[in-house]
Amino acid sequence: MAKAILGLDHVIIGVNDLEGARADYLRLGFTPAPRGDHAGRATSNYCLMFPDTYLELLGVLRPELDSGGLLEGLASRGEGLQRLALGTPDADAAKADLAAAGLHPDGPHDLARPLQDSGEMVRFRNLFIPPAETAGLGMFLCGHKTPELMRTPELVRHPNGAKAFVGITGLVADPAAAAAAMARVFGEDAVSATGYGAVVETGRGRIHLATPMNFAMLHEGAASPPLPLPSWYALRIAVGSIDATADYLNAQGVPVEPFGGGIRVDPQHARGVLLEFVAA
């Protein structure tokens, strides 16, 4: 599976107020790309780009069209992490590999959106894994057909010093069952049991699986939220300097909480996401 899946690609942060979310993440020190409107879909986004990964703020601006499940996700869990995207160099080859592992991926499906400034079309080829085969955690594979259009030098520079999206935590009721599901996607060698649950070495970043009771074993001093299980909840962002990031956030009036490996921003400041900054 290593050839078909590159690792973490991006994560979808579902929001009720897209422009408000953009303002929040500007305050957190990220540089949003120009707004993208998905062709034939209800959704629009602002992407926060890194050289190999990114965060996607996603909202509904054309509710008469299909939202791809975003409206349902917002209704069930509120704003926050909705789906994790894994990178793939070839969605068609990935489909064959996943099917050989006994999974039933849907697609690939082509998606496009025009760039606001040039009108050029950013294109993707996506493959969706049924939630029943990922322990209920929303996951899909994203094949970028025009990556050069999304990553310009000015868009991958962030005032907070962010360099990459390197980790995500999912809250689950049964870590062993969730780990078994991830092993079918990534291979058994990629998954290890831990005191808090399990960890998946994706090839580019880590997926952590924790029960609400053991969540603080991984995220020191943080409380588990009252979210429906399973749910994605926490992100880790690598930065060049923890001190410089803390200074930037303090100057913006954003409260930060230090922990053993970095600093943390409360979900109330990040649209329902527990946001941790760690050393690159």
| Enclosing H/E stretch for 82 | strand 80-87
Residue where a domain terminates, one of 149, 179, 194: 149
Domain shared by 183 and 127, yes or no:
no
Domain shared by 102 and 218, yes or no:
no
Work out the mean pLDDT of the chain and round it to a whole number. 94
Residue 22 covered by a domain = yes
Nearest to 42 by CA among 60, 18, 28: 60
Residue 52 covered by a domain = yes
Task: Please tell me the pTM assigned to this model.
Answer: 0.95
Residue 36 near residue 44, CB atoms below 8 Å: yes
Region 238-257: mean pLDDT is 98
Domain shared by 139 and 13, yes or no:
yes
Domain shared by 58 and 175, yes or no:
no
Please tell me which residue, 119 or 46, carries the higher pLDDT value.
46
Q: Residue 95 carries which DSSP code?
A: H
Task: Report the CATH number that the domain containing residue 63 is assigned in CATH.
Answer: 3.10.180.10
Domain shared by 108 and 196, yes or no:
no
Residue 12 near residue 56, CB atoms below 8 Å: yes
231-239 and 162-171 as β-strands: parallel, antiparallel, unpaired? antiparallel
Residue 31 covered by a domain = yes
Alpha helices for the chain (secondary structure H): 18-27, 70-77, 91-100, 175-186, 215-218, 242-251
Region 101-108: mean pLDDT is 94
User: What pLDDT shows up at residue 23?
Assistant: 98
Write the DSSP string, 97-132. Answer: HHHHTT---EEEEEEEEE-TTT-PEEEEEEEE--GG
Residue 2 covered by a domain = no
66, burial (CB in 10 Å: exposed 0-12, middle 13-18, buried 19+)? middle
Q: Which domain holds residue 76?
A: 7-149
Q: Which long-range contacts (CB under 8 A, 24 or more apart) does 22-26 make?
A: 22/46, 22/57, 24/269, 24/270, 24/271, 25/55, 25/57, 25/270, 25/271
User: What pLDDT shows up at residue 3?
Assistant: 67
**pLDDT tens column, 51-79:** 999 999 999 999 999 998 999 999 999 99
User: What pLDDT shows up at residue 61?
Assistant: 95
User: What pLDDT shows up at residue 39?
Assistant: 79
Residue 157 covered by a domain = no
Domain shared by 116 and 211, yes or no:
no
Residue 72 near residue 81, CB atoms below 8 Å: no
User: What pLDDT shows up at residue 40?
Assistant: 86
Asked if the model's pLDDT at residue 50 lies above 90, the reply is yes
In the numeric block, the tokens 């992100």 are attached to 235
Domain shared by 138 and 19, yes or no:
yes
Residue where a domain terminates, one of 119, 149, 179: 149
Percent of the chain scored above 70 by pLDDT?
99
**pLDDT tens column, 124-163:** 899 999 999 999 999 999 998 888 878 889 999 999 999 9
* Position 255 confidence tier, pLDDT thresholds 50, 70, 90: very high
Residue 154 covered by a domain = no
106-114 and 121-128 as β-strands: parallel, antiparallel, unpaired? antiparallel
